[in-house]
Amino acid sequence: MKKLLLLSFLSLFTGCAALKEQTGTYVTDAIVDNITQKVDKLLETRGLSVTEIRGALDSNGDQTIDKQEIVDSATGAAKDVAIAEAQRLVQQQIEDNTKKMVSATDLEKQKYELWNWILGLVAAYLGKQIYSAKQDSKRDQKLAVVEKLLNRDIDGDGKIGGADPAPTA
Go through the chain and tell me how many residues it has: 169
Domain segments of the chain: what residues? 1-48, 63-101
Give the C-alpha separation, 119 to 7, whole Å.
Answer: 118
What is the tens place of the pLDDT at every residue in 80-138? 778 878 888 888 888 887 777 767 787 788 888 888 889 888 888 887 777 765 666 66
From first CA to last CA, the distance across the chain in angstroms is 163
Give the C-alpha separation, 60 to 95, whole Å.
Answer: 41
Q: What is this structure's pTM?
A: 0.40
3 state DSSP class of 160? coil
Give the C-alpha separation, 101 to 95, whole Å.
Answer: 10
Show contacts of 26-30: CB within 8 Å, 24+ apart: none
Q: Closest Cα partner for 55 from 69, 40, 36, 68?
A: 69
pLDDT tier at 9 (50, 70, 90 boundaries)?
low
